[in-house]
Structure 1
Amino acid sequence: MITTHILRDLICHTSGFIYDSSSTLLKKWSKSVGRSAHTFCGSMEGYTHPILFEPGTSWGYGAGLDWAGRLIENVCNCSLEEYMQKNIWSKIGATSTTFHPELREETLPRRLGMAYRVSVGQGTKSVKSIPVMLGQPLKDDLGGIGLWSTPNDFIKLLTALLQGGQPLLTKAGVDVLFRPQLSDASRAAMPLPLGSQMRRILGIKSVDDIDQADHCLAGTITLKDIPGRRPHGTVNWSGLPNLHWWIDQQTGITAALFTQLMPPGDAAVTGLLIELEIALYRALRKREDFSPVGKL
C-alpha cells in the first residue's frame, strides 16, 4: 500500500530524487559505477540512482514526478499515455497532447524545433537551432518530462483547474491540489535549488527568504502578494524550454507564456514574463467593472 506522504514527497520534489543532469554528485556516482543512463535518455533507467537526502527533509527538483507516473501505471495496469488520454485529455478536448507524437504524425500539428541561446546581446545571432535533447521515441512514458502538447491544449487544462476542476476534479479536489505542502525544513531549503530566475518569478528576494513561497501538488505557490503582480495563493510552474504558466484563483485568471528556448531559466524570457504579468494586472485593475473571483 502506498501512503499519501510518499506520493506527496514525490510530487512536491521532497523525495530526495534529484535529476542527475543537475547534480555533480550523481554524475560522479554514475561514472564510478559505469552507468550510462541519464535524465534525458527517455527511459526510467535515467532515474535509477541514489536519493540525495532523506524524504521530507529538504527540497530538490528531480524525478519524483516520473516515479509518481510509474506508480500510476502499476496501480492502474496501463501506460501513463493510456491513463492520461482516458482520464485527462479526452475529457477536456485536448487532442494534440501525447508522449508519442511519432505515432500520430498525420494528425498532430507540426512539431516545433528547439533553440539555444548561446550568447547575450547579439540579437538573432545569439540563438542557434538544436535537436530535441530528450531521447526519441520514448522508451517509457515519463511523468516529469517528454509530454508533447500545444498552447491550446494546455490552456484547456489550466482553465478547467481555474474554474473549479470540472470535468477532471471536484472543487474540493482542486483545493487539495493547491494547498501548500512543505515542511519548514523543505520550505527553507527550496529557494536555493529553485535558481535565480524562478526566485524572480516568485518574488523571493534571497535564498534566505523562506516565507514567500511554498510548493503544492500542482507547482509552487506564492504565500504573499507580489506588488503590481500576482496575489498570494497563485500557483505556477515552468517547463524546461522556458514554458511558464500561472493560475490566480483570487483574481480569477490563468495565463501562460510558452517558448522552445534553452537553456532553462533564461533571464530574458523571465523578464518578458514579468513584464507581461505586470501589464495584465495593470489592465485588469483599470477596468471599471473588474472585481476578483472569475470576472474574466
Structure 2
Amino acid sequence: MVDIEKIIDKAIADQDIPGCVLTATNRDGSFTYSRAFGTRSLHPDHDQSPLKTNTVMWIASCTKLMTAICALQLVEQGKLTLDDPIYNIVPELKDHPILEGFSKDGNPILKPHKNPITLKLLLTHSSGLTYAAMHPLTIQLLAYQGKEPPMDSKLLDRFSCPLVYEPGTQWAYSSGIDYAGLMVERVSGLTLEEYMRKNLWEPLGIKDMTFFLSKRPDMQARLADMSKRDPETGKAVKTDGRQPYMTADRGEVEDCMGGQGVFATPEEYMKILHGVLTTDENEKILKKDSVEKLFSPYLGDQSTVLLNKYLEVKMINDAMGGTPTSVKKSYALGGLLVLGDVNGDKNFRGGSMFWGGLPNLSWFVDRKTGLCGLYAGQVIPPGDAKCSELNSRFQEAMYERYHKQRGVSPNL
C-alpha cells in the first residue's frame, strides 16, 4: 500500500515542496482523508507555522469549475443558453478578430470570425480565445507591440487579445470561462462573488472563499506564501516576485475573474467537489440533467485530437492532472474528462473529471467510483513534475484506501 504520509514527509525533508494539503471523500462521507503537511512559508521573515486544512491559498483555475456551475444554474433558469450566440450579453466579443498570422514584413494579419461564440464554446476552451502568454501567435503579437502579457485590473482589459482560430474548430486553454463569469454577472445583476455566495457557497456551507482578500482580512492573515522551483538546484525556495493574481503594479484586481480569481481553503473547496459528486442525488447545486451536461464531452473530432496532442507535452499534461497519455481525453463543461479507465479501476474511471490551479493544485471527481479529492499546494511554475508525481501518489493512495475500506479488491 502507498504510504502517502512518508512520501510527502520525505518530499518536504528533501525540499521538493514546502508543504501541501491532501483531502478526499466519497459520496456519503463514510470515507474521508484530510491532512496538512509542511509550513505556510519558506521565507525566513514570514510566518512559518504549519500548514492547516484551513490555510488560505490562491486556487487559481480551480475557480473555473465554480463559474461553470453558476453558468449552468442560469441555463436551468432560462437566463442563459449553451448554444446561442453570446453577443447580446457580451457585445465586446461580436467583432473580436482572429489573428491569422503575420505578413512577411511582420505585421499581424487579422480577419473577422464567422462562427458564433457560444457559452458552450467558452466553457470548453474552444471559442478561439486564449491567454496572451500561452499561444505562439499572441506571444508574437506581444513582441510586435512591445508589450508584456496584460496584467490589468479589469477583466475586459486583461483578456483582450485576438482569437487564434475560428470558434468551435480547435482547442486552446483560454480566458473563455472568465467571459462566462462576466455573463453570469450581466444576466444576474450581481457580481460573480455575490452570485457564488448566494447560489453556491452558502448552499454548501462555505464561508472561506473570496475574490478579494482585502475584504477578508481574516483570510488574508491565513494566506500561505507562494514558493518557486529553483531551476538550478531543483529545490523549492521562497519567491518575492509579483504573483499572477496581482496587477502589474502588484495591486488587487477590480473585477471577479471567473477563470482564476478565488482564494479559498482546501477544506472549503472540498465542499465544492463533494457538492458536484452528490448533486445528481440531492440537486443542491445543479439538477440531475445539468450534472450530465457538466460531465459530457463536447469537443469535435479535430479539437479532441488537438487537445490530446497538447497533453503529449509532459509539462502540459502535469498541469492538467498528469494522467497517462494512453487514455483519451475530451473536455466537458466543468473540466478535463478521461474517456476510459486509468489503470483498470485502480484509479480514475472513465467519465471522471479533473482540473487544477496554476500553483500546482489538482482536483478530481470520479462519479463511477464515488470518490473526489484535492491536492493543494502553492508552488510555481505550473505543471511542476515533482508536484505532479506527489499528486499521482496521493490519488493512488486514496483509491487503495477506499477500496480496502470497502473490502473490494481494486483488481475486480
TM range (shorter): 0.7 to 0.9
Shift of 1:36: 6.0
What whole-Å deviation, never above 9, does each CA across 1:52-91 have from its counterpart, x for those lacking one?
A: 0111111100100011111111111221111111111111
Query: Which residue is 2:255 aligned to?
Result: 140
Shift of 1:129: 2.1
The 2-side partners of 1:266 and 1:179 are apart by 28
Give the structure with the larger strand fraction. Answer: 2
Q: 1:79-228, aligned counterparts within 5 Å? A: 79-106=191-218, 110-119=222-231, 122-123=234-235, 126-130=236-240, 131-134=242-245, 135=247, 136-165=251-280, 166-194=283-311, 195-199=313-317, 201-205=322-326, 212-227=328-343, 228=346
Q: RMSD of the TM alignment (CA)? A: 2.3
Shift of 1:173: 1.7
Instruction: For residue 202 of structure 2, give the secondary structure of its aligned residue in structure 1.
Output: helix
Does the 8 A contact of 1:61 with 1:193 survive in 2? Answer: no
Shift of 1:169: 1.1
Instruction: For residue 4 of structure 1, give the secondary structure of its aligned residue in structure 2.
Output: coil
Query: Which residue is 1:264 aligned to?
Result: 382
Query: Which residue is 1:208 aligned to?
Result: none
Does the 8 A contact of 1:203 with 1:226 survive in 2? Answer: yes
Instruction: For residue 51 of structure 1, give the secondary structure of its aligned residue in structure 2.
Output: coil
The 2-side partners of 1:291 and 1:249 are apart by 18
Instruction: For residue 191 of structure 1, give the secondary structure of its aligned residue in structure 2.
Output: helix
Change (3 A) 1:37 1:78: farther
The 2-side partners of 1:107 and 1:269 are apart by 25
Length-normalised TM-score, structure 2: 0.64
The 1-side partners of 2:234 and 2:363 are apart by 28
Shift of 1:172: 2.2
The 2-side partners of 1:253 and 1:3 are apart by 30
Change (3 A) 1:3 1:257: same
The 2-side partners of 1:191 and 1:176 are apart by 21
Instruction: For residue 364 of structure 2, give the secondary structure of its aligned residue in structure 1.
Output: strand
Change (3 A) 1:7 1:173: same
Instruction: For residue 279 of structure 2, give the secondary structure of its aligned residue in structure 1.
Output: coil
Q: Does 1:49 align with 2:161?
A: yes
Which residue identity is paired with 1:58?
Answer: Q
Deviates more, 1:128-137 or 1:19-28: 128-137
Q: Which has the higher contact order (CA 8 A, sep 6+)?
A: 2
The 2-side partners of 1:85 and 1:34 are apart by 40
Change (3 A) 1:2 1:163: closer
Q: Does 1:282 align with 2:282?
A: no
Change (3 A) 1:2 1:158: closer
Larger radius of gyration: 2
Does the 8 A contact of 1:164 with 1:174 survive in 2? Answer: yes
Instruction: For residue 87 of structure 1, give the secondary structure of its aligned residue in structure 2.
Output: helix
Instruction: For residue 25 of structure 1, give the secondary structure of its aligned residue in structure 2.
Output: helix
Number of residues of Structure 1 aligned to a counterpart in Structure 2: 284
Work out which of the residue numbers 103, 113, 131 in structure 2 matches 1:19. 131
Length-normalised TM-score, structure 1: 0.88
Percent of residue pairs bearing the same amino acid type: 30
The 1-side partners of 2:147 and 2:386 are apart by 36
The 2-side partners of 1:161 and 1:81 are apart by 19
The 1-side partners of 2:228 and 2:140 are apart by 26
The 1-side partners of 2:218 and 2:360 are apart by 27
Change (3 A) 1:34 1:184: same
Change (3 A) 1:119 1:95: same
Which residue identity is paired with 2:364?
Answer: W
Shift of 1:110: 1.2
Which residue identity is paired with 1:161?
Answer: V
Does the 8 A contact of 1:42 with 1:140 survive in 2? Answer: yes
The 2-side partners of 1:204 and 1:220 are apart by 13
Instruction: For residue 247 of structure 1, give the secondary structure of its aligned residue in structure 2.
Output: strand
Q: 1:215-254, aligned counterparts within 5 Å? A: 215-227=331-343, 228-254=346-372
Shift of 1:122: 4.9
Give the structure with the larger helix fraction. Answer: 1
